[in-house]
Chain A
């Protein structure tokens, strides 16, 4: 976390990717975040990271792709977890 306040936190992921999380009191339905773009995160040890993520208690999302973990992080964003160095050309056409 590079900066925090009551209204916004800035998170740095890896070397150069930033997310600003703006906090608000409004509530989303469980399905609302599923409508937005899904992002991908890479781990050097995907199996270990998968265990940690699931142990944390995220909501797992069922998809056609059984090889990867899809989950909804706190705040609602949906991610796919892949391995760093994995061949991901099937997602590139």
Chain B
């Protein structure tokens, strides 16, 4: 039977004026590398093999929509969560999201929402084990963002 797995390439169209803050955040704070750039786009690699293509256009800022969780939120992992949390928040480039969960949730430049976790952390809580997150509380918190 045919099956699928997730690939390691993604892309998103973002407002042109966010380019500097996107580069500062994904490269200087998260440690990503720009593998290619031209007037209209940056290819950015996070970690060993995850790529994001940022396509710059004269489009409206969709941060408010992206915060609603009606679009997919991503998870990033760090070997040192405390240090990375501090770097992310002190960068002044993100909006911290008040999600009822022990992890840092934030909105990065360009609008993508993310959760920061530890590389070796037990994340079965988010995989269907046990009770899992309190969905009603999470939805309530999102409505206040």
Contact = CB atoms under 8 A, between A and B. Distances in A.
B52 A37 contact: yes
What's the interface size class on B, roughly? 35 or more
A40 B6 contact: yes
Interface string B123-141: 0001111001101101100
Pick the most buried of B53, B71, B126, B139: most chain A CB atoms within 10 A of its CB: B71
Given A10-B128, A14-B6, A91 B51 contact: yes
A20 B8 contact: no
Contacts of A17: 5-6
Contacts of B43: 91-93
* Secondary structure call for the B interface: mixed
What's the interface size class on A, roughly? 35 or more
Contacts, number: 129
Nearest to A19: B72
A65 B3 CA distance: 23
Given A33-B70, A37-B72, A93 B9 contact: no
Interface of B: 2-13, 34-36, 43, 45, 51-53, 62, 65-66, 69-72, 74, 111-112, 126-129, 132-133, 135-136, 138-139
Interface of A: 1-3, 5, 7-8, 10, 12-15, 17-20, 22, 24, 26, 28, 32-33, 35-45, 48-49, 52, 76-77, 80-82, 84, 88, 91-93
